[in-house]
Amino acid sequence: PKILYIEHNGKEHVVDADVGKSVMQNALENLVPGIIGDCGGACSCATCHGYIDPAWEGKAGSRNENEEMMLDGALRVEPNSRLTCQVIMTQELDGLVVRLPESQF
Ligand code: FES
């Protein structure tokens, strides 16, 4: 399945994502700039912040409790903000669009 990442400057990156890996991991493995993932996916750094395109919000699930807590302390949080290490790629999410914040700090 594909994921389309859109950097804050509008630059697009389409990647062939691996099912079962998170949207953060898929970004890192495909060298998409703008996602850092400092904690390796443990939901404790909030440097994998991304905005799920509204069309995908239902399918991508919703924030878990830890994620909610981490996002509380993050910058530029919007209603469609997620920590992308908590969004696991599935075949169903083929075509997922994730916009990236201006910075992770
Ligand atoms: Fe650290 Fe997602 S990679 S919270």
Instruction: Note the pLDDT of residue 24.
Output: 98
Q: How far apart are the CA of 55 and the centre of ligand 1, in A?
A: 23
| Ligand 1 contact, 24 CB (< 6 A) | yes
Instruction: Note the pLDDT of residue 105.
Output: 87
Q: How far apart are the CA of 37 and the centre of ligand 1, in A?
A: 5
Residue 65 has pLDDT above 90, yes or no: yes
Give CA–CA dist 65/68, Å, rounded: 5
Domain chopping of the chain, boundaries: 2-99
Whole-structure pTM over 0.80, yes or no?
A: yes
| Ligand 1 contact, 37 CB (< 6 A) | yes
ipTM of predicted complex: 0.99
List, in sequence order, every residue forming a beta bridge with 43; answer none if it has no partner: none
Cα 51 from chain centroid (whole Å): 7
Give CA–CA dist 87/75, Å, rounded: 19
CATH number of 2-99: 3.10.20.30
Q: How far apart are the CA of 11 and the centre of ligand 1, in A?
A: 22
Sheet hosting strand 49-52, strand order edge to edge: 12-16, 2-6, 96-99, 49-52, 81-83
List, in sequence order, every residue forming a beta bridge with 99; answer none if it has no partner: 6, 51
| Ligand 1 contact, 39 CB (< 6 A) | yes
